[in-house]
Structure 1
């Protein structure tokens, strides 16, 4: 062991572990039963397992963890710089470049978290080796009942709360402390499992991603992450993870079962008949191998299903009968309140279908739905499996749909309450009671359980409250930040508590999406953008659950005051050919009168919030940023061939497009384009990626390994004439956001924002799909956003 001084921290190196001690926190490490810090270190056997206890995670400990993380990074940075390494856009061992060679404060949150996890484990290892860590006042920073209680309470909330909602789980996740959770892999496992049971595969992936930063080799957490990816539609990524597990020797039912599921997904996705049959056969072989090894009813029923579909009907019937007998025996010994009863009943139903007994299948499906009728994600998957079987056996996939009472997913738009200075009456405040009652009746008739809306003062607020009152889930989209939105769309009538009601709904919402951090209430593009994105987000979730999305409007049947209102919402769904449920405000006005004692609120115009009009209106556009991987390795004499051949081929590709970019620019190795639609941007991104991948650049004396990263986003931007360039350009926060997404994209991949994915879904784009990647910390401290992988459809 040796030590060196770095700033105010002493750094001890031993067996590859770096431990820092700093007087700024007033902390030191001491062997138990000793008072002063030891002058020499005691050698230990690095092969002895260390039992690492939980910590009392006070603010002092959190501060110490942060300091250790920073010092650890700075020491590594200093060492690397001394070895001749330098900052670069990507890690390149040959050129000695690494993007993390920056001060700790400039690291992404994801990189900081890795350093924090290492620091926390170092402290825990010190304690486990018999040392004590004391604070500035001499207090021990060790395990105690407080930290254990936090873990136990959180586990109890996740495991034992039978009415755990998506909003509850999101609140737990948003408020969690990574340093607390890093003490328990079981907590991560339970949280991911709960998210999957609630149908929140995106959230499940995010939780698993953080957990695997600390518990890198945990099998169960890796399996759950793969399952989350499979359920978001990122089948290829899930397949790669699981195939690697299998090649590493894991032959358990869970690994083989989820891997087989990915091939079953490939079967449903593939357009080529031979490709479909290949994946169906692989899926059957994996399920059947797992069943023979583990004799579990999960792998057994799936082996029977895929076997029947692959033509192995005798094996399928034999396995189905064995699984049916196993489930019947298991049911006899289960307590009445066991959650496993649902899966056993659903498995018995599938076995009955394979054996040709449809009345028995109906009976078991009804038993299953009686047990798990409030678990939408579970019911959705069970119905999808039934449809797959029935389509192959009877040709009628909907034969047993009546067994599943699926809730309705509703996306809503409605008029705001009339402002006090509104000249023409549309939705007076006194009509709130009748409108609320009409909404409650319609939602009950529709059996609505999942809702999407914005949250303006009026129909939106009434709809959200009605959904929550009936125990449903509400998802909110705001056009811009909460403070400005409240000013222009909520706090518009004096003496009313709409602001408090707005905050209560936000607190109870399953998701809150702020589409633009800054916006202007007098620019209709922000509201039009919100309207379109809201519809797309509802359709994305509906596609995930296999549910139809029902549009509902509280509308007077007339054109609105501007873009993005209820009239635009109704027109959007009518263009899609979807019937719109409408509660007619004009009819409510005709049937109701203001109460005799109604005192209409008044407000002097001068007291209305003053919102400056934008200098120019915004336009919703799709944007692409691309960066060439390997550009920094070009020699001086390769720059001209790069411009001539690489950028030349990119220019030729643009010229060949049926819908060319309305703006294009380059900066060295960066390419920026603006398109009128997300379809045009996505199609060009795929063709650009394929051009770069499929070209042998060494023919042009360029590095063979040249590759590309591409980012896509869509949002309101300003069209401006640039006097320096002498042409029209596009500017605004959403242009910046696109540029911040590109650095987090994987090499050779296309990443898109949630807004881009939502608009593509809303517009019915068929050329590509968007698979969830996870929440990514954007470059230059631009925050974290959900990111999607764009891939061509088969």
Structure 2
């Protein structure tokens, strides 16, 4: 039986069409005397409005306001009434919104409400801003932050709501910047800074000053000898969160990127590792250095900084410690690649230059093996297919293959790999952004399949994705190149825990995507999951369009 919490979970996962279909299938559309159902209806309409534009957007906001108003009439509460007020403003009726906001303030003053101090103060700030009382809204938001100073995600949610109100009322939103959480930093640099040298001391001072100037509270990068460790130590010294992304296991990383540059770096590496807020190992490649793994780690670290900044309504900054080579990013291949990707995203970038204490060499480098590649892999499946009556299967497969085939054929970039069987599809791309757009196109194609038999609402496409290092080899059964390895398996294992109608991707997929200009895509954290036949806990993200 469909429940309201399950519908809300589907909506939060980005499966809005599926959530709406389940809302109707569960009979909640007719539940006009149930305040919980009316609130969920308002939530679904608001989500749809945020995806719409122009007059349709305003009409949907008005419908959402009406649903919350009906809920509030049955069970008065600040939550429902502030939603009525804000949604009325977003629908274009600022006069009525101001009146409703006054009612919210009166309700907050008149009753002892069982809510957190943060929520009550933030709700007051929202109501005050609706009334155009910016100074008092600023003070209320300051009090809210004081009640929960480290509740960054709550702060971000409030900032999003206040920004919407400022936009619809024509209010200058610059005052919100003072309330934003600290910025996120991606850092990288060359390994040839000698500990104790004048350059190392100068770099340490410059790094600390930049972190302070940019108000950095979160750092993302590797932990190699030299520049990486100098930045990591500076982050820890100022109380910032350090998130380490290693291209390989820590044992292999020590052998590749710590010990060759001097034993003095090992205790510093281990100390930073111990104090880090998180450590991720992206591959299990062993032996000599493989540049492909570093390329993956760079994308993931850059995207992790950008995604964290977007999640917290803050900013993302890059710091590169470059050598004296030609060009804006020096002569290091990794710095050039990371610098160009970040620059193309339009985000702020800082480059500090210090010469290498020893020439850059290629010893110990394992050239890119021909059988490895970076691949963004999607696994799609139709939830509810097994419940179809046998007589309906041929008709459904006709619709399924037509709609998804058209979606794949219309993609601007050809897939690296495509395989299908039954109601399952595996499709892979070299570029993670191409894969993300393909996942959305598959969902849209399925939801807009040609008119035909009235298939049950429980039928929905779910898509899972992962980005990592895969192996290529000839597939004698398909008579073409096939993709193999843990990255392919992981995408398939994520699919069963993906809600119908949703797109769930691994953390590596979500973060690598945000290294680039996402073009309005969203990736929202949906919790830790242990997929079937897996011993590892995965952080998963719901992918959706703006």
- Fold similarity call, TM over 0.5: yes
Give runs of aligned pairs for residues 432-581 of structure 1, distance below 5 A. 432-496=200-264, 498-518=265-285, 521-558=288-325, 563=333, 565-581=334-350
Q: Say yes or no: does 1:266 pair with 2:35.
A: no
1:585 corresponding residue in structure 2:
354
Tell me, in whole angstroms, the C-alpha distance in 1 between the residues paired with 2:209 and 2:23: 47
- 8 Å CA contact retained: 2:225, 2:261: no
Tell me, in whole angstroms, the C-alpha distance in 2 between the residues paired with 1:583 and 1:452: 17
- 8 Å CA contact retained: 1:386, 1:397: no
- 8 Å CA contact retained: 2:15, 2:501: no
Q: Say yes or no: does 1:385 pair with 2:161.
A: yes
- 8 Å CA contact retained: 2:71, 2:80: yes
Judged with a 3 Å threshold, the aligned counterparts in structure 2 of structure 1 residues 278 and 264 are, in CA distance, closer, same or farther, namely same
Unmatched runs of 5 consecutive residues or more in structure 2: none
- 8 Å CA contact retained: 1:316, 1:354: yes
Q: TM-score, normalised by structure 2?
A: 0.79
Q: Say yes or no: does 1:352 pair with 2:128.
A: yes
Q: TM-score, normalised by structure 1?
A: 0.56
Cα deviation code 1:308-348 (max 9, x no counterpart): 33355554333433433454567xx99xxx99555444444
CA apart distance, 1:526? 0.7
CA apart distance, 1:375? 3.8
Tell me, in whole angstroms, the C-alpha distance in 2 between the residues paired with 1:415 and 1:388: 42
CA apart distance, 1:399? 4.5
The SS at the match of 1:400 is helix
1:15 corresponding residue in structure 2:
none
CA apart distance, 1:541? 2.0
Tell me, in whole angstroms, the C-alpha distance in 1 between the residues paired with 2:510 and 2:347: 21
Judged with a 3 Å threshold, the aligned counterparts in structure 2 of structure 1 residues 764 and 615 are, in CA distance, closer, same or farther, namely closer
- 8 Å CA contact retained: 2:13, 2:542: no
Unmatched runs of 5 consecutive residues or more in structure 1: 1-215, 419-426, 595-599
Judged with a 3 Å threshold, the aligned counterparts in structure 2 of structure 1 residues 533 and 403 are, in CA distance, closer, same or farther, namely closer
CA apart distance, 1:301? 3.5
Judged with a 3 Å threshold, the aligned counterparts in structure 2 of structure 1 residues 708 and 239 are, in CA distance, closer, same or farther, namely closer
Judged with a 3 Å threshold, the aligned counterparts in structure 2 of structure 1 residues 302 and 460 are, in CA distance, closer, same or farther, namely same
Q: Say yes or no: does 1:279 pair with 2:60.
A: yes
- 8 Å CA contact retained: 1:439, 1:466: yes
Judged with a 3 Å threshold, the aligned counterparts in structure 2 of structure 1 residues 759 and 399 are, in CA distance, closer, same or farther, namely closer
Give runs of aligned pairs for residues 607-686 of structure 1, distance below 5 A. 615-616=369-370, 618-627=372-381, 654-666=408-420, 670-686=424-440
Judged with a 3 Å threshold, the aligned counterparts in structure 2 of structure 1 residues 469 and 291 are, in CA distance, closer, same or farther, namely farther
- 8 Å CA contact retained: 2:395, 2:453: no
CA apart distance, 1:552? 1.6
Tell me, in whole angstroms, the C-alpha distance in 1 between the residues paired with 2:403 and 2:125: 57
Give runs of aligned pairs for residues 14-413 of structure 1, distance below 5 A. 251=35, 260-261=42-43, 263-271=45-53, 273-274=55-56, 276-313=57-94, 315-327=96-108, 342-369=118-145, 372-393=148-169, 395-401=170-176, 403-404=178-179, 406-413=181-188
- 8 Å CA contact retained: 1:625, 1:672: yes
- 8 Å CA contact retained: 2:219, 2:241: yes
- 8 Å CA contact retained: 2:153, 2:311: no
CA apart distance, 1:549? 0.9
CA apart distance, 1:532? 0.9
> How many aligned residue pairs are there?
534
Tell me, in whole angstroms, the C-alpha distance in 1 between the residues paired with 2:153 and 2:399: 50
Tell me, in whole angstroms, the C-alpha distance in 2 between the residues paired with 1:633 and 1:292: 40
2:194 corresponding residue in structure 1:
428
Tell me, in whole angstroms, the C-alpha distance in 2 between the residues paired with 1:640 and 1:319: 54
Judged with a 3 Å threshold, the aligned counterparts in structure 2 of structure 1 residues 722 and 346 are, in CA distance, closer, same or farther, namely closer
CA apart distance, 1:722? 5.4
- 8 Å CA contact retained: 2:186, 2:302: yes
Tell me, in whole angstroms, the C-alpha distance in 2 between the residues paired with 1:375 and 1:639: 49
CA apart distance, 1:544? 1.6
The SS at the match of 1:659 is coil
Tell me, in whole angstroms, the C-alpha distance in 1 between the residues paired with 2:154 and 2:232: 24
Judged with a 3 Å threshold, the aligned counterparts in structure 2 of structure 1 residues 390 and 751 are, in CA distance, closer, same or farther, namely closer
2:489 corresponding residue in structure 1:
736
Tell me, in whole angstroms, the C-alpha distance in 2 between the residues paired with 1:321 and 1:651: 54
Q: Say yes or no: does 1:763 pair with 2:516.
A: yes
Q: Which has the higher contact order (CA 8 A, sep 6+)?
A: 2
CA apart distance, 1:470? 1.7
- 8 Å CA contact retained: 1:387, 1:397: no
Tell me, in whole angstroms, the C-alpha distance in 2 between the residues paired with 1:731 and 1:278: 49
Judged with a 3 Å threshold, the aligned counterparts in structure 2 of structure 1 residues 453 and 317 are, in CA distance, closer, same or farther, namely same
2:189 corresponding residue in structure 1:
414
Tell me, in whole angstroms, the C-alpha distance in 2 between the residues paired with 1:705 and 1:351: 40
- 8 Å CA contact retained: 2:187, 2:318: yes
Judged with a 3 Å threshold, the aligned counterparts in structure 2 of structure 1 residues 360 and 753 are, in CA distance, closer, same or farther, namely closer
CA apart distance, 1:637? 12
